[in-house]
Amino acid sequence: MRIGELAAAAGTTPKTLRFYEESGLLPPADRTPSGYRDYAPDAVARIDFVHRGQAAGLTLAQIRQILDIRDDGAAPCEHVRDLLDERLAEIEQQIARLTALHDTIAELRHDAAQPDPDTCSPEQVCRYL
Amino acid sequence: MRIGELAAAAGTTPKTLRFYEESGLLPPADRTPSGYRDYAPDAVARIDFVHRGQAAGLTLAQIRQILDIRDDGAAPCEHVRDLLDERLAEIEQQIARLTALHDTIAELRHDAAQPDPDTCSPEQVCRYL
DNA sequence: CTTGACCTTCCCCTGCACTGGAACGTCAAG
DNA sequence: CTTGACGTTCCAGTGCAGGGGAAGGTCAAG
């Protein structure tokens, strides 16, 4: 498939895919005789993984690091584990932070839900900020 | 207190504080007769809130939006609630995504933990990518 | 009264993740 | 055989969240 099809299938743009290739997230694509990039359908899965990693707050460099582990079949398991443990710890921290912020905002929102001037004064609304 | 002290107390740099002021996250600071910025000690709390928001993945623009609500005592409660609901939904989504990625990586890590060639081949290790 | 630490503004630079646009090549349809 | 959609490379710009460093002012200590 060509780059436009792949981009549509993966929910992104040709520009971005060329950028991913240049960044090492995608292997250099095969080329047709005329120089067009030619992708196997399973490229969609790889791009999806990139998207999932991004949606979860990983940088492209971190996602690339994980993908490199897959691509290099010889990667030592210990290194793999360490890297993944690092990511896990990072993600757990991030979840904890988000949960704390969620609670803060939920309390704030609870106060804002009562349009009584006594309970909805700026001081009341914002005592959590 | 002066900008250097405040920065130290809040765990950031004078540069960043000037940038926050310019971005509207901090109100224009009072000035000493000689032009130095002069902060009240409670400025630390505001900067801490910015940091908490950031740590949770909000952009400075989003954090500013929340702070603006506090600063504008006349903000209608309904608007406040809508805005906070938006943030809550966003944060809940983000937590869900992070949790999913966490599980994916944890499974991956579990596989990588067994240095048996049969269970730790690239195909095995990476069937979740 | 000088020295050094700290402050001011100003402008430009960085890294990240793209995005736009120019200039040119390819290809299937009419 | 032309047209239009799609592809190629290359270079440059965007938005975010700051950081570097120049040129000059301020202030407390020695």
B9-32 per-position pLDDT tens digit: 999 999 999 999 999 999 999 999
CB A61 within 8 A of CB A90: no
Q: Is B37 helix (H, G, I), strand (E, B) or coil?
A: strand
The answer, yes or no, to whether residue B119 has pLDDT greater than 70, is no
Contact at CB, A94 and B97, closer than 8 angstroms: no
Summarize pLDDT for A3-51 with one digit per residue, the tens: 999 999 999 999 999 999 999 999 999 999 999 999 999 999 999 999 9
CB contact under 8 A, A57 and B125: no
**What is the residue-wise DSSP string for chain A?**
--HHHHHHHHTS-HHHHHHHHHHTSSPPPEE-TTS-EE--TTHHHHHHHHHHHHHTT--HHHHHHHHHHHH-TT--HHHHHHHHHHHHHHHHHHHHHHHHHHHHHHHHHHHHT---TTTSSHHHHTTT-
What kind of fold does domain A1-75 have according to CATH?
Multidrug-efflux Transporter Regulator; Chain: A; Domain 2 (1.10.1660)
Q: Is B88 helix (H, G, I), strand (E, B) or coil?
A: helix
In the stretch 19-78 of chain B, residues with CB closer than 8 A to chain A read: 45-46, 49, 52-53, 55-58, 66-67, 69-70, 73, 77-78
What is the interface pTM, i.e. ipTM, of the complex?
0.72
Which residues in chain A are closer than 8 Å to B105, comparing Cβ atoms? 66, 84, 87-88, 91
- Rounded to whole angstroms, the Cα distance separating B64 from B72 reads 12
Q: Which residues of A touch B69 (CB under 8 A)?
A: 125-126
Residue B52, both tokens:
């908490």
Q: What confidence category does residue B98 fall into, taking pLDDT thresholds of 50, 70 and 90?
A: confident
Q: Is the pLDDT of residue B76 over 50?
A: no
Question: Which of A52-61, B43-52, B99-108 has maximum average pLDDT?
Answer: B43-52
Does the pLDDT value for residue A119 go beyond 60?
A: no
Least confident of A32-41, A61-70, B77-86: B77-86
Dist CA A82 CA A16 (whole Å):
30
Residue boundaries of the structural domains of chain A = 1-75, 90-129
A118: pLDDT strictly greater than 50: no
